[in-house]
Structure 1
Amino acid sequence: LENKAEDLLDLDPVPQTPVFDMGSETRTEGDAVTLTVTPVGLQERRGSNVSLTLDMCTPGCTEPYGYGAQLSPRDQSAQEYLRQGTHILTPAMLHIRAMDDQSLQAEFYETPMNFVDPKEYNYPGLVRKNRYKTILPNTHSRVILKSLGEDDFLTTYINANYLKGYGGEEGAYIATQGPTVNTVGDFWRMVWQERSPIIVMITNLEEKNEKCAEYWPEDTVTHEGIEITVISVTQEDDYSLRVFTLKCGGEERSLRQYWYTSWPDQKTPDKAPPLLELVQEVERAREEAPPSSGPTIVHCSAGIGRTGCFIATSILCKQLRTEGVVDILRTTCQLRLDRGGMIQTCEQYQFVHHVLSLYEKQLSHAAEE
């Protein structure tokens, strides 16, 4: 089970945040320790030299949304930080900031991760529904699958959260893990239930180990009463586009899947253009989708790292066009309130700054012409 936590490896062999792994944990200090992933194990490590980073990231932020949960003072302050965090950047500030690794690191590490305490999900059989056992959907915003008659928690569960879009637009996106062999049926139930017009997939099927099951057919397949048929496949430079027809209960819909494969080499800012192009392409497709359409579904492997970068970039491009400024910290905080760990590493946080800096240059260049 040498499962590496999500997409860190693509960016940097030593992840900059404590990301909870299947068995071991890599840290800034490089003091790799073996960690049995139990809430208690994490609590006990609070006194260590990485306690600051861990404190922000320790699962234990129970959601303060009507569960009557008593938040510890630290969890309370983490929630408040995420609700209030802001750093508005003008174009000039953005370009300088994108190059200032130290300031970005400081900002990234101060921002709480808001991971879920695994104790929130104490249901037998749930393990098979999660790709990484410590990356779980925050309870207040999780996607609930309508169960087929029986009131069974497992049939309603999928590791996915609704995320707000630009200007607080409700349910603009769904962030989810890459489907596993066990959850392909649940994934398609969600696509149909939510009327999603677009799936953005930002991972290869394998990178050192399995990152995502191949959940779509070569030509046609039926999952949970939903018939999925491939209509066309187009190969672009950095992604492929599949257009599907979905049929269920006499209704027929169209679905587009953008499969972006050029991420693993993304260690440098010069990889910003392909991501920016994908964001814009997905935005165009979104505008052309039927008005009854639901959220855009975005996934990588764990559904927090690259997924967070894509959704944040999407929101921030709109903010830049609309307001002429960006607030990358604010957007990160808002995403993490709804799904812990969004934008998972410091490199990813820097990368989002590079992408926005590039986008601003493109916009002002176009304006001059």
Structure 2
Amino acid sequence: ILKEKIQLSLRPEKEKKQEIHLSPLPLPTSQSKTTSSMVQPEQAPKVVNVVVDPQGQCVPELKPPLCASPSPFRMKSVGLQERRGSNVSLTLDMSSLGSIEPFVTVPTPREKVAMEYLQSAGRILTRQQLRDAVACSHLLQTEFMEIPMNFVDPKEIDIPSHGTKNRYKTILPNPLSRVYLKPKNPSDSLSTYINANYIRGYGGKEKAFIATQGPMINTVNDFWQMVWQEDSPVIVMITKLKEKNEKCVLYWPEKRGIYGKVEVLVNSVQECKNYTIRQLTIKQGSQSQSVKHYWYTSWPDHKTPDSAQPLLQLMLDVEEDRVESPGRGPVIVHCSAGIGRTGCFIATSIGCQQLKEEGVVDALSIVCQLRVDRGGMVQTSEQYEFVHHALSLYESRLSAEAVQ
């Protein structure tokens, strides 16, 4: 009797050990009776795709996955990451991992599966399909939910006290693509650290952009050191200084200021309808560089703009500056955390180049590429929709130009 009691009392513990804190996606009732049928699926998983019928209605259609493995991820995020559209609970579809025996030793860590998805997912849209996609917002939301966030675990950044240089403790630069500052004392690892990542552009062009957080009072000198070091021709700022709380500090002078070793001179200020342009000269020793600073202020807090037109115009102006600055460094883009609005701007910029060059666009693949370079880029489903709206607006411009 005592032996039976001990076994009974141990049984819940055993079961507890087998729990993996990932809730499986719901399966058909025939498969959901036992764990083994969930782990060893009878058939390959399917994902819901969509077709637009002649009447313009969005019709769901079962199709095999678009990429090598469908996304088994829905990320549960914290703090700043927890925004509408990106706070779905973390789930793992075991069926996509194939036959696994025993249950506990999953051969593919979730990071690896997430990275495979980010590197292979895509949905190429023709011009008409882009227009249809904009009309089916709930399907764009569903597509967005599948994209792994790829946020960084703080343990991945082996720099003591790096937290003092992060505006948000959960938004960190992905180690493989982060910008390293070149310090006068290389043994001081903290002086090499800035919360910024190099971002690939259209066609995988290396270091086309830098995505970074809004400078803090103690990182302003680092920011200007990065602008100088990278020879960036343009800075794009997509945030107010304050929206309920501080989003970014004022990091430029009215006329002249010295930030660490970099002197910043404001040559002119031009007020446009939705943004302000400052022509700057930055100096270090006897050398100088010209930098154009765009401050876009008409993006509402925690929302997307009513119209994509101002952002599109900003993107076209910045692209013109980039083309006129051959041989210079990345365009620096920042909002407050450097992932949401920053991601929208860069995704739109890359997508417009793809539309212009190829006549098609793959926003899903673009956002996945951005998240490989910096976790969480394009932060919410509303922002993902907004990117499609901006691309559709650009497509209609291209069509109008072609007619003329």
Q: TM-score, normalised by structure 1?
A: 0.82
- Checking the alignment, whether the CA contact within 8 Å between 1:243 and 1:256 is kept in structure 2 is yes
Structure 1 partner of 2:6: none
CA separation in 1, counterparts of 2:304 and 2:231? 36
CA separation in 1, counterparts of 2:355 and 2:84? 34
Counterparts in 2 of 1:332 and 1:25: CA distance versus 1, 3 Å = closer
- Checking the alignment, whether the CA contact within 8 Å between 1:18 and 1:27 is kept in structure 2 is no
CA separation in 2, counterparts of 1:72 and 1:158? 32
Task: Select the structure with the greater relative contact order (CA < 8 A; seq sep ≥ 6).
Answer: 1
1:252-271 counterparts in 2 under 5 A? 252-264=288-300, 267=303, 270-271=306-307
Residue identity (%): 57
Q: How many correspondences in the alignment?
A: 319
Structure 2 partner of 1:336: 371
Q: Secondary structure at the match of 2:206?
A: coil
Structure 2 partner of 1:352: 387
For 2:347, which of 296, 312, 321 is the aligned residue?
312
Structure 2 partner of 1:202: 238
Equivalent AA in structure 2 for residue 118 of structure 1: P
Unaligned runs of at least 5 residues, structure 1: 1-15, 31-48, 56-70
- Checking the alignment, whether the CA contact within 8 Å between 1:238 and 1:262 is kept in structure 2 is yes
Equivalent AA in structure 2 for residue 51 of structure 1: L
Structure 1 partner of 2:90: 51
For 1:175, which of 208, 211, 221 is the aligned residue?
211
- Checking the alignment, whether the CA contact within 8 Å between 1:211 and 1:301 is kept in structure 2 is yes
CA separation in 1, counterparts of 2:172 and 2:301? 27
CA separation in 2, counterparts of 1:183 and 1:263? 24
CA separation in 1, counterparts of 2:237 and 2:251? 11
Q: Secondary structure at the match of 1:233?
A: strand
Equivalent AA in structure 1 for residue 383 of structure 2: Q
Structure 2 partner of 1:109: 145
Q: Secondary structure at the match of 2:79?
A: coil
The Cα shift of 1:149 comes to 2.4
The Cα shift of 1:95 comes to 0.4
Q: Deviations over 1:197-223 (max 9, x none)?
A: 100000000000000010000110111
Counterparts in 2 of 1:180 and 1:278: CA distance versus 1, 3 Å = same
CA separation in 1, counterparts of 2:247 and 2:191? 23
For 1:325, which of 350, 360, 379 is the aligned residue?
360
1:15-164 counterparts in 2 under 5 A? 18-21=76-79, 25=82, 50-52=89-91, 73-164=109-200
- Checking the alignment, whether the CA contact within 8 Å between 2:208 and 2:329 is kept in structure 1 is yes
| 1:225 corresponds to 2:283 | no
Counterparts in 2 of 1:270 and 1:80: CA distance versus 1, 3 Å = same
The Cα shift of 1:124 comes to 2.9
The Cα shift of 1:293 comes to 1.0
Unaligned runs of at least 5 residues, structure 2: 1-73, 95-106
Equivalent AA in structure 1 for residue 113 of structure 2: S
Equivalent AA in structure 2 for residue 97 of structure 1: A
The Cα shift of 1:83 comes to 0.3
Structure 2 partner of 1:294: 329
CA separation in 2, counterparts of 1:353 and 1:343? 12
Structure 2 partner of 1:363: 398
CA separation in 2, counterparts of 1:224 and 1:269? 36
The Cα shift of 1:249 comes to 2.1
1:241-256 counterparts in 2 under 5 A? 241-256=277-292
Equivalent AA in structure 2 for residue 138 of structure 1: N
CA separation in 2, counterparts of 1:28 and 1:324? 29
Structure 1 partner of 2:52: none
The Cα shift of 1:346 comes to 0.4
Q: Secondary structure at the match of 1:241?
A: strand
Structure 2 partner of 1:42: none
The Cα shift of 1:153 comes to 1.1
Counterparts in 2 of 1:264 and 1:199: CA distance versus 1, 3 Å = same
Q: Secondary structure at the match of 1:51?
A: coil
The Cα shift of 1:121 comes to 2.2
Equivalent AA in structure 2 for residue 302 of structure 1: A
Counterparts in 2 of 1:18 and 1:181: CA distance versus 1, 3 Å = farther
CA separation in 2, counterparts of 1:266 and 1:121? 29
Q: Secondary structure at the match of 2:347?
A: helix
Q: Deviations over 1:216-254 (max 9, x none)?
A: 001101112111000000000000000111110210111
Equivalent AA in structure 2 for residue 340 of structure 1: G
The Cα shift of 1:150 comes to 3.8
For 2:228, which of 175, 189, 192 is the aligned residue?
192
Q: Secondary structure at the match of 2:379?
A: coil
Equivalent AA in structure 2 for residue 52 of structure 1: T
Q: Secondary structure at the match of 1:254?
A: strand
Equivalent AA in structure 1 for residue 150 of structure 2: N
- Checking the alignment, whether the CA contact within 8 Å between 1:17 and 1:344 is kept in structure 2 is no
Equivalent AA in structure 1 for residue 132 of structure 2: I
Counterparts in 2 of 1:177 and 1:363: CA distance versus 1, 3 Å = same
The Cα shift of 1:20 comes to 2.6
Equivalent AA in structure 2 for residue 91 of structure 1: R
Q: TM-score, normalised by structure 2?
A: 0.75
